[in-house]
Structure 1
Amino acid sequence: MTVKPDPAKVAFGHDPVTIEDIVAIARGASACVTQNEAARARIEASARFVGDLWREEGVIYGVTTGYGDSCTVSIPPHLVEELPLHLTRFHGCGLGQQFDLEHGRAILAARLASLSRGYSGVRMVLLERLAEYIERDIVPVIPQEGSVGASGDLTPLSYVAGALIGERDVYYRGERRPVAEVLKAEGLEPLHLKPKEGLAIMNGTAVMTAVACLAFDRAEYLARLATRLTAMVSVALKGNPNHFDGKLFSVKPHPGQGQIARWIHDDLDAAEVARNSDRLQDRYSVRCAPHIIGVLQDSLPWLRQFIETELNSANDNPIIDGEGEHVLHGGHFYGGHIAFAMDSLKVAVANIADLIDRQMALLMDVKFNNGLPANLSGATPDRVMINHGFKAVQIGVSAWTAEALKQTMPASVFSRSTECHNQDKVSMGTIAARDCERVLELTEQVAAAGVLAATQALYLRKQQTDFNHSAVTPVLESMYSQVRDFFDIVDEDRPLEGVLRQTVDYIRAQRWELYPHD
């Protein structure tokens, strides 16, 4: 009889895992291995087949041979069980910044998702230990740099393998500690890896896929935030709401683009806002916002497909079909789909930064802002000469946007032949994913400035006697009020770094509810 899974945990090995599952685990949710009998039988058969085959002198890459270009080197039987330990150790050469706790948890979950498909030749005890590390919040400290994305994320994932065997460091209870100490404190013994298990842990796409899951979640929220910001900016500029009419978008029916237009249109009371409008056609950064944000919105479904298919795949080498008793040598560790997804996502996100940058430029400049004060200064007339409002913030936005745009060079086209030309075409998927996160970080900074500037602009517009206050609809008033709860209007010059950082934190925490999920 199959045991009913605990609904409070993400179960791995039977049902498909989603991006949202990985994000939830990254943020503290629990994990377990499936109790589905067929899935567990497949996992156990795969591990048993590897154990039987090598003892019968079957040739299995990475079990009875060396690794990579060393696949021509035969491993004598008395050394086979030592080989996984050497693999975990010689790949311990990662550099750069370390992934944080959230990323580490996502990486553990992504590797568990792949290995629990039951085609990697690993034992149930290894899968359960990965789930237990997630449960007990024992998270490997993993350097970000050192992977070319095929043969998968070898070097960063060696830190997962190292943590399982009792070597290297982990995050534990808010500290970085040697894993050997943590295992002792938790009453756990280090795992002794069986043949193929070291390779199975390391020879896959878990790092780039985990980062992709977190990047997707951030990008999805940014699309919604940029949409709400566009509505706020449109009102603040006395824009024309008819640019977002459903009939207009019915004749260019990209679904995501139409969704963005509907959200903006719903945020605006078209009749009331139209009474404020002085222009037949607004400038492109307002009028074409659905077309710009819509590219990201329309990309999300295929990005999800790429990421979740990779997440739910057996992506190591060789594939071990224990039930059919096949060893299949291939290249499933190649991260091309994630590389392309992340290269594409970072372009779409950088365009969001550029959009908000241009909208902010309209708000700041008296030639374009339809009667708002220069630089959105809230100073009184007798003090306006020495006050500068958001002038420096706009300079910062220009810098962050430029850096985001610079980061959009695709990583996937920079393949490098390595490892004695065995790995002569590689994906660069992990670099692409890390680049995407950097673009997201910069775009969130631009969006934070945009949130504050749009709020300041609405405040200043409300002070004008000829402004129709009903143009600020209840949903926009709610957003305005939530920002005003922590943001004091800039009437006299003051450093804004603190409130900008707070706003970035709110964006990353997805503090504001933005439109219902379909």
Structure 2
Amino acid sequence: MAEHDSSGKMAGVRNVAVRAEAAIVIGGRRLTIEEVVSIANQRRPVALSPDPAWRARIERGADFLRRHLAQGATVYGVNTGYGDSCVVDVPMELVEVLPLQLLRYHGCGMGQHLDDAQTLAVIAARLNSLAYGFSGVRHVLLERLADLINHRVLPRIPSEGSVGASGDLTPLSYVAAALVGERDVRFRDELCDARSVWAKLGHTPLTLAPKEGLALMNGTAVMTGLACLAFARAAHLTRLAARLSALSTVALDGRAAHFDPMLFEVKPHAGQAEAAAWIREDLAGREDTPGHRLQDRYSIRCAPHVIGVARDALSWVRRDVENELNSANDNPLIDPDGERVLHGGNFYGGHIAFAMDALKVAVANLADLMDRQLALLVDDKFNNGLPRSLSGAAPERASINHGFKAVQISSSAWTAEALKLTMPASVFSRSTEAHNQDKVSMGTIAARDCLRILELSEQVAAAHTLATVQAARLRLRINNTTPIPLPLQTFMDSVTAGSPFVDEDRALESDLRALTARIAACDMVGGYGGEDQHE
């Protein structure tokens, strides 16, 4: 991780070298989901745009706001109370301390804390929104947000407590608090108080200017940052589900003909055709065995149709997530060119809420698909001659070995829990804050639900992966001339390197955990299947 001195310049390297050109530029350009994921997972640094015109725009907004207040104007959240208290005037002698009051009384989050990657994604989303120059913040505030990312000063953000409008107020208060030197942060793998960390970095805690507390907190950065991570993991899972469908076809001695291109030309859903093409490529060169069922069961034959729904959903999910990511979404907005203050509702997270509600349904359907394929593989009534429960035991010990029986039970449990969580969060708006926030998005809850469903679905995928590789190897025992196309053989070898063939029963928890971590890191199939949708 690259360290910076107090001027913001590169000052050295800790642990791993990072080239200056690897920094992701913030300001004057659109940020992509992939860039947010890189900041979060690969710990890529950020750099504020060097464009003088962009910096001048940022400073114009802050300058106009100062002049506007000096002329006696009333601006919500700057010289008024917050929310329903907008009717309360704040005397000028208290305006400077009002941002501190905002972040302090919102320090009531609960639940598990966001992990490091989620926290970095949240900060990147908030920084990018403020960098559009409609929030009336100073350039120094953007510099300090960049410092949080580049020095990995990570606020401890509780995951619960946001209704998604007026933005993610409570969780984002922990970002604001870190900037002013309050509350705890993670720094160099230790829990520290924020003030001491700034001292180590040669900074004094930031003194927030009027509106800067509101600008930091009154936006959709938490739900949007989490949505970026969910998108990447969901896209990878679609690609993995396609590969597992191909390998299941081999293991079950099923029919490659179900993925003939003409089938998908005459029902022209793009995602369905894409998934079928992936499966077809993985099965290239395979000939169908005569004498088997004319048609494989639905979880094999209809796999492209199930995966295709998720693929097509990802196209519009990307659109809505990236539009939110590249938006000014606090309130009020400051027009630095027209010199106007615009009071509105851009903090409302409805697009993220609906996108995450839809994506979690598509992901849960992937879990259900994989669980059904796994059920076919372990059941000797349906698996075309494979051993019961995929046991690899020698005949004399077959009676006491049970192979993947318990893994399939666990997979069913994880799938059921994922399906249970698909209830949409966006329809559960609650009138709150003295009926000022009387229609809210629940976008952050939807994003958290989506990540939980992804976690469960990745566990199902790990179980399916181990079982399918075992099944394919058992098929080779039955018929050692069974062709295994190269992509599938490479995939099998990669899995077996971390989880050997199960001949005698053994505890598979550690194998499953390691494989689930690889899947969550989008490290199972080349790319994660999402890049091709973005121009």
TM-score above 0.5: yes
Runs of 4+ in 1 over 3 A off after TM superposition: 513-518
For each residue in 1:453-508, what CA deviation from the matched residue of structure 2 results, as whole angstroms up to 9, or x when unmatched?
Answer: 0000011000014x5322x1111111111111111111111111011111111112
The match for 2:512 is 500
CA gap 1:263/1:277 in 2 versus in 1, 3 angstroms: farther
The match for 2:412 is 398
Contact residue 149 and residue 426 of structure 1 kept, 8 A: yes
Separation (CA, whole Å) in 2 of partners of 1:57 and 1:7: 45
Secondary structure in structure 1 of the residue aligned to 2:382 = coil
Query: What letter is aligned with 2:497?
Result: D
Deviates more, 1:8-17 or 1:394-403: 8-17
1:143 aligns with 2:158: yes
For each residue in 1:102-126, what CA deviation from the matched residue of structure 2 results, as whole angstroms up to 9, or x when unmatched?
Answer: 1111111000010000000100000
1:511 aligns with 2:526: no
The match for 2:122 is 107
Contact residue 212 and residue 433 of structure 1 kept, 8 A: yes
The match for 2:383 is 369
User: Which residues of 2 match residues 259-270 of structure 1 at below 5 A?
Assistant: 259-270=274-285
Instruction: Report how far residue 417 of structure 1 moved.
Output: 0.3
Secondary structure in structure 1 of the residue aligned to 2:167 = coil
For each residue in 1:176-227, what CA deviation from the matched residue of structure 2 results, as whole angstroms up to 9, or x when unmatched?
Answer: 1111111111111100000000000000000000000000000010000000
Separation (CA, whole Å) in 2 of partners of 1:429 and 1:342: 8
Secondary structure in structure 2 of the residue aligned to 1:233 = helix
User: Which residues of 2 match residues 183-262 of structure 1 at below 5 A?
Assistant: 183-262=198-277
Separation (CA, whole Å) in 1 of partners of 2:91 and 2:336: 23
Separation (CA, whole Å) in 2 of partners of 1:513 and 1:369: 25
Q: Which runs of 5+ in 2 are unaligned?
A: 1-18
Secondary structure in structure 2 of the residue aligned to 1:382 = helix
Secondary structure in structure 1 of the residue aligned to 2:185 = strand
Backbone CA RMSD of aligned residues: 1.3
Separation (CA, whole Å) in 2 of partners of 1:70 and 1:273: 72
Instruction: Report how far residue 6 of structure 1 moved.
Output: 5.3
Separation (CA, whole Å) in 1 of partners of 2:327 and 2:167: 13
1:469 aligns with 2:482: yes
Secondary structure in structure 2 of the residue aligned to 1:513 = coil
The match for 1:455 is 469
Instruction: Report how far residue 514 of structure 1 moved.
Output: 3.4
The match for 2:100 is 85
Q: Which runs of 5+ in 1 are unaligned?
A: none
Separation (CA, whole Å) in 2 of partners of 1:486 and 1:69: 57
Partner of residue 183 from structure 2, selected from 168, 171, 178: 168
Identity across the alignment (%): 59
TM-score, scaled to structure 2: 0.94
User: Which residues of 2 match residues 353-392 of structure 1 at below 5 A?
Assistant: 353-392=367-406
Partner of residue 302 from structure 2, selected from 288, 291, 305: 288
Separation (CA, whole Å) in 2 of partners of 1:501 and 1:277: 39
For each residue in 1:406-459, what CA deviation from the matched residue of structure 2 results, as whole angstroms up to 9, or x when unmatched?
Answer: 000000000000000000000000000000000000000000001100000011
The match for 1:432 is 446
Query: What letter is aligned with 1:265?
Result: R
Contact residue 98 and residue 142 of structure 1 kept, 8 A: yes
Query: What letter is aligned with 1:308?
Result: E
For each residue in 1:62-82, what CA deviation from the matched residue of structure 2 results, as whole angstroms up to 9, or x when unmatched?
Answer: 011100000000111111111
Separation (CA, whole Å) in 2 of partners of 1:464 and 1:149: 56
Separation (CA, whole Å) in 2 of partners of 1:190 and 1:211: 27
1:491 aligns with 2:532: no
Query: What letter is aligned with 1:295?
Result: V
Separation (CA, whole Å) in 1 of partners of 2:355 and 2:52: 34
Query: What letter is aligned with 2:310?
Result: L
Separation (CA, whole Å) in 2 of partners of 1:226 and 1:58: 58
Contact residue 225 and residue 514 of structure 1 kept, 8 A: no
The match for 1:157 is 172
